[in-house]
């Protein structure tokens, strides 16, 4: 429970003794309860507050932000993010969301894409030339050293086919096909797949080209790289992730008279003839509202629904979703080992390295803090942390000459086994719509049907879509 929060404190007071917690009502507005305080729940709460609803948000953990948060690590004796998060210029709902929370100033977004890609010490740069419009990547692509001439011609053909593919028209077929199969059908060599396509797909879809479906992969390529130059720009938080959404999100709700209930889990969504009548919380109290947005992960939603409702085909479809891991290796060196803000690596288990010191505006410091982000990290998720520390500090010495003489002062390994849902072939039929067969229950969560992969943008969109569907139902 947020002790500083007047409205939330009132809820706690009412729950004592009565065991029943009415959602805050006020100014004759309709009440809405949001279940789950990740980005999707925060986004739903924001949209509902802006539509005049009285909103109560329940989150089981003592803080908001869901899978995008920062925390104090006793091991490293400093604040760290649970994982490096990146957004792109095409993430317009996410940018609008952090702007509304007053946190956009704490994020950085490139004017246009510039990313170094290194293989065996050879540096290439993928960058936009915005003046060239849809051909903005062409000059850097021509100079890109990690593809031979033939592979470049093939890759250019593949990009053209990607740009011309009508995803709406072929949605079913593309959802059912792996992107690898699509690439092979379009004459892509293994060299082009490794040196270009997987470089884009692995960090954006948290899975390899072999496993993702062609629809989501083409969505990333079209929205992120082919529609307009600014869309490809890379952005990130310059502060801890909680300061970008969780903390300002809580303040946003509070300032608009909403309630935030922290540290209490939703145990059951109680459904009667007319729809959801209340939700039961972990302390035995119940929370009532006119309408509900579940912004819970898919597994938690199914656990909280009455079993007979969870077995209905509409909801049961979500049981087919699966998740993918991310592992972060955080290293504190006694000196500077890299200059750029981030770089990608080919031919190495290191995929992307982020220069956290520079990103956080501490570039002048004597040492340097960097984070290796490993997407689709099945190979590493079950390996002992000491083994990962050894493997990656040695690999960093191979990749960064300046790391060879540097001392690693601290190393922290953060494993997130269920970082994202997997965009495997057939996933579309498992993503539920925001409106449900239960009239006053709406769904948010990046795993719902947003048309986006498992991203902060998808989470924020899902919250907006759920709020729109809820508002339209009155
Ligand atoms: C390491 C890592 C790196 C990532 N990198 C990126 C990136 O670079 N770019 C990007 O766009 N995305 C990235 N993502 C994905 C992104 O973080 C998620 O897509 C997004 O945060 C999901 O938000 P959500 O609100 O849909 O779900 P969640 O964040 O999972 O929110 C669900 C909330 O519900 C709460 N909850 C669960 N059960 C209950 C219950 N019974 N009662 C009450 N509350 C409950 C949870 O505690 C949580 O707060 C990354 C994720 C991870 C883990």
Task: State both tokens at 435.
Answer: 């409106």
**Residue 459 burial (C-beta neighbours within 10 Å; 0-12, 13-18, 19+):** buried
pLDDT score at 449: 98
pLDDT score at 263: 98
Q: How far apart are the first and last CA of the chain?
A: 30
159 C-beta closer than 6 A to ligand 1: no
**Residue 307 burial (C-beta neighbours within 10 Å; 0-12, 13-18, 19+):** exposed
**Element spanning 338, H or E:** none
Looking at the DSSP bridge assignments, the partners of residue 420 are 324
Ligand 1: residue whose CA is nearest its atom 36: 36
Which atom of ligand 1 has the smallest separation from the CA of 39?
25
- How far away, in angstroms, is 302 Cα from ligand 1 center? 17
CA pair distance 319, 340, nearest whole angstrom: 42
- How far away, in angstroms, is 335 Cα from ligand 1 center? 34
Distance of CA 44 to the CA centre of its chain: 16
Query: Model confidence at 366, in pLDDT bands (50, 70, 90)?
Result: confident
- % pLDDT > 70, the chain: 93
Which atom of ligand 1 has the smallest separation from the CA of 43?
25
61 C-beta closer than 6 A to ligand 1: yes
Ligand 1: residue whose CA is nearest its atom 20: 456
Beta-carbon neighbour count of residue 471 at 10 Å?
Answer: 18
81 C-beta closer than 6 A to ligand 1: no
266 C-beta closer than 6 A to ligand 1: yes
Selection from 155, 161, 153, 241 nearest residue 199 by Cα: 155
Q: Which pLDDT tens digit goes with each residue over 86-130?
A: 999 999 999 999 999 999 999 999 999 999 999 999 999 999 999
DSSP classification of residue 38: B
Domains in the chain, ordered, with CATH? 6-63+241-321+424-472 (3.50.50.60), 134-232 (1.10.405), 323-421 (3.90.660.10)
Task: State both tokens at 365.
Answer: 């410091």
Q: Which pLDDT tens digit goes with each residue over 420-451?
A: 999 999 999 999 999 999 999 999 999 999 99
Selection from 446, 473, 430, 423 nearest residue 97 by Cα: 446
pLDDT score at 103: 98
DSSP classification of residue 428: G
Predicted confidence (pLDDT) at residue 371 exceeds the cutoff of 70: yes
Distances 434 to 193, 303, 449 between C-alpha atoms, Å: 35, 18, 7
Residues 301 and 41 sit within 8 Å (Cβ to Cβ): no
- How far away, in angstroms, is 219 Cα from ligand 1 center? 21
Q: Which pLDDT tens digit goes with each residue over 24-59?
A: 444 348 999 999 999 999 999 999 999 999 999 999
**Element spanning 353, H or E:** strand 352-355
b (16+ CB within 10 A) / e for 379-402: ebbeeebeebbeebbebbbebbee
Distance of CA 68 to the CA centre of its chain: 7
CA pair distance 49, 56, nearest whole angstrom: 10
Predicted confidence (pLDDT) at residue 248 exceeds the cutoff of 60: yes
Residue to mutate (ligand 1; options 1, 34, 35, 38; most atoms within 8 A of CB): 38
């Amino acid at each position: 429970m947020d002790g500083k929060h007047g409205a939330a404190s009132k809820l706690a007071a009412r729950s004592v003794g009565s065991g029943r917690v009415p959602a805050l009502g006020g100014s004759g507005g309709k009440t809405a309860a949001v279940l789950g305080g990740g980005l999707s729940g925060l986004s739903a709460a924001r949209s509902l507050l802006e539509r005049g609803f009285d909103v109560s948000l329940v989150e089981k953990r003592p803080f908001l932000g869901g899978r995008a948060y920062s925390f104090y690590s006793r091991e490293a004796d400093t604040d760290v993010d649970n994982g490096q998060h990146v957004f792109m210029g095409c993430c317009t709902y996410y940018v609008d969301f952090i702007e509304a929370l007053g946190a956009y100033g704490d994020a950085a977004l490139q004017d246009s894409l510039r990313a170094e890609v290194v293989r065996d010490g050879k540096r290439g740069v993928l960058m936009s030339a915005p003046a060239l419009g849809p051909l903005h990547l062409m000059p850097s692509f021509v100079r890109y050293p990690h593809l031979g001439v033939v592979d470049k011609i093939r890759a250019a053909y593949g990009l053209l086919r990607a740009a011309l593919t009508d995803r709406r028209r072929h949605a079913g077929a593309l959802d059912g096909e792996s992107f690898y199969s699509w690439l092979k059908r379009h004459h892509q060599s293994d060299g082009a797949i490794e040196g270009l396509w997987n470089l884009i797909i692995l960090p954006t879809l948290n899975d390899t080209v072999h496993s993702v479906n062609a629809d989501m992969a083409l969505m990333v390529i079209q929205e992120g790289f082919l529609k307009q130059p600014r869309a490809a720009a890379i952005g990130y938080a310059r502060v801890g992730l909680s300061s970008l959404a969780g903390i300002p999100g809580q303040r946003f709700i509070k300032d608009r008279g909403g309630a935030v209930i922290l540290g209490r889990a939703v145990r059951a969504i109680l459904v009667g003839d007319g729809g959801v009548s209340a939700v039961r919380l972990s302390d035995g109290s119940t929370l009532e509202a006119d309408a509900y947005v579940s912004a819970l992960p898919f597994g938690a939603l199914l656990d909280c629904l009455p079993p007979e409702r969870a077995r209905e085909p509409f909801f049961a479809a979500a049981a087919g979703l699966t998740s993918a891991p991310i592992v972060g290796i955080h290293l504190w060196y006694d000196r500077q080992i890299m200059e750029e803000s981030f770089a990608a690596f080919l031919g190495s288990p290191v995929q992307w390295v982020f220069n956290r010191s520079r990103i956080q505006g501490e570039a002048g410091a004597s040492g340097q803090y960097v984070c290796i982000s490993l997407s689709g990290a099945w190979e590493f998720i079950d390996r002992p942390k000491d083994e990962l520390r050894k493997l990656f500090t040695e690999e960093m010495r191979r990749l960064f000459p300046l790391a060879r003489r540097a001392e690693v002062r601290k190393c922290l390994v953060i494993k997130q086994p269920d970082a994202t849902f997997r965009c495997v072939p057939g996933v579309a039929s498992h993503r539920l719509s925001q409106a449900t067969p239960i009239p006053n229950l709406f769904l948010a969560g990046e795993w719902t049907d947003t048309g986006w992969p498992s991203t902060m943008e998808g989470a924020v969109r899902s919250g907006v879509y759920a709020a729109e569907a809820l508002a339209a139902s009155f």
